[in-house]
Chain A
Amino acid sequence: MAGLNDDAQWIVLMGFVVSTIIFILALIVSQSALVGQTTSESVLEFSKTDIQDLRSEVIFLKEKGHLDELDLIYDLQNLSMGRKTAVVEVDNWTDVVSRTDFVYIHFNDGTTSYSETYEEYY
């Protein structure tokens, strides 16, 4: 290798180093978008009011005795999916032996998933 002309190596190498440094800087700047999620954004993301609203409506239906009407549950599910992009499931059954009514509520809008089995002794 005595006669190999490697004068261009430095230029190529420096070019390579410069491009990788620019790449690292770009990585840092792009991470700033992820790092900077504030409390307000996480509050907005969590659908607390949707879940509270759903619970309140299901308990209202139970109090007025409408939970067995499947058309209503279908309306709930369809509108939830269409307007809130959330999957909702409502189910109810009774255990005669322990005299308890059970209502199962499930809600999932992609970022938050909520399940509850509500028991009421009668």
Chain B
Amino acid sequence: MRYAYFPGCSAESTARDMHQSTLAVAGALGIELIEPKGWTCCGATAGHQTDRVLAASLPAANLVKIQNMGLDCIVNCAACYNRMKVANHEISTDSDIRSSVADALGQNYDGSVKVRHLIEVLLEDVGVKKIKASVKNSLSGLKVACYYGCLLVRPPKVVNFDNPENPTSLDKLVKMTGAESIDWPCKIECCGGGLSLSRTDVVVNLTDSILGMAKDSGADCVAVSCPMCQVNLDLRQQDIKKQNGKDYQMPVVYITQLLGLALGIGPDKLGFNKLMVPASKVLEKVI
């Protein structure tokens, strides 16, 4: 199993833990990940809020590089995944966008590189059987609220990821670790995404309601697969305490961190020390 792996800019900053745990889990499950040389930013929310051609061209610059590698593209950051899927869709369905992108890149791109989220590859290519057989530590007794956020599941017709209103992919992976995935109503609510710095007040209110629901539903931790969701839910707990007076102390971990623990990988190799709210409730299951 060989794939081109697009880490995304967060992998070099706020989501080093996501990047580290992705590589560790891939290694343990025999998935070969090759970074495209010279990969660049997907443009994120700022890109599509500014200009449609810019928003399609920035991901396309990477997709062209991956096309030359002859591999499918794997992304773990939900935001990059979304931008790449949307760019492929726009380029392959809108001839004006396609020619403007070709002009911007200086080469033609047809929108055909297959973009997949790591979760899809784990469930479809590696498979439940192999993952279950590789589990060394059961996380039994741990209650996990799986949080998908927006960008993994929307727009449904373009990303075509799971059920857009009640996705279960993360829940399936959590169950493979021996942990319990709880039923709760905030799976696809928005954390405020890119407004984290510009409208911190909005993000604090949105994350407060999500974390409050996770707590009331009995979760020991929240599992995510998006660096923006992780930062907003983890880092902003300090601000929720200041602004709204609630102290959740709710660990927010990447699904690859949970999976890594179950596969017997040490917490130091999964970036657990980088979380703002310590994941002691999670780690005590393996120590």
A and B bound?
Answer: no
Binding site for B on A (CB under 8 A): none
